[in-house]
Amino acid sequence: MTDRNLDDSTGANTVAEWGQIMCEVDDYGWGEVGNSILLKKLFGYWPAFHDAHVLSIKMGYGKRDAREVNVAIELRHWGQDDPNWVARGPDCVITLTLLEVKIADVSMDAFVQDNSVGDVCFTRTDDNLLLFELDPNSGASVFIACTSAEITRIEPYCAPISSSTT
């Protein structure tokens, strides 16, 4: 997708602006993501992952073809962006896997111990790429163009055991 292929009805001038405009909907594009209904069942709404923590970003070869590159992002979330907040939700680690990555822009120089998410969203382009954007509160920003994405794991969060010497 190039800037000249943008849908003129949005008023966007760049791919990044188009993605931002397209993410301003209630489901944040989760309908494009495999197994995403599990998020809605768990939290009761489509999360933007606001204030979630990025625990890891891993890049690896695809299981179907060694020429493919997949990216897995682990996010810790406990429903802190629930629009009907009454109490803390389930504290989970969600693994999102982006498949057959074509473009990856990850600001690794900004990856810090406390990577906090502003929001995440997905948009599908006219040429059938899935765009993923993680806008940070602090830490790493992530922009990925891939062919598909899926929630590959949801598990309870277990705090790391700190080691101490006596």
Specify the number of domains making up the chain.
Answer: 1
Please indicate, yes or no, if residue 14 is contained in any of the structural domains: no
Q: What is the pLDDT of residue 101?
A: 94
Q: Which residue has the tokens 């970003």?
A: 57
Please indicate, yes or no, if residue 9 is contained in any of the structural domains: no
Please indicate, yes or no, if residue 129 is contained in any of the structural domains: yes
Please indicate, yes or no, if residue 17 is contained in any of the structural domains: no
Please indicate, yes or no, if residue 36 is contained in any of the structural domains: yes
For 36, list phi and psi in degrees, rounded to 5.
-70, -20
7-16 per-position pLDDT tens digit: 455 565 554 4
Q: Are strands 148-156 and 142-146 parallel, antiparallel or unpaired?
A: unpaired
pLDDT averaged over every residue in the chain: 84
Q: What is the pLDDT of residue 93?
A: 96
DSSP-derived letter for residue 52 is: -
Please indicate, yes or no, if residue 1 is contained in any of the structural domains: no
Please indicate, yes or no, if residue 112 is contained in any of the structural domains: yes
3-state secondary structure of 77: strand
- Asked whether 40 and 46 are in contact (CB, 8 A), the reply is yes
Please indicate, yes or no, if residue 163 is contained in any of the structural domains: no
47-85 per-position pLDDT tens digit: 999 999 999 999 998 777 767 899 999 999 999 898 888
Q: Give the pLDDT band of residue 161 (cuts 50, 70, 90).
A: confident
Residue 19 has pLDDT above 90, yes or no: no
Domain residue limits at 144: 24-156
More confident residue, 68 or 25: 68
Give the CA distances from residue 144 to residues 5, 100, 137, 155, in Å, rounded to whole numbers and listed in that order. 18, 10, 18, 24
Q: In angstroms, rounded to a whole number, what is the distance separating the alpha carbons of residues 51 and 81?
A: 7
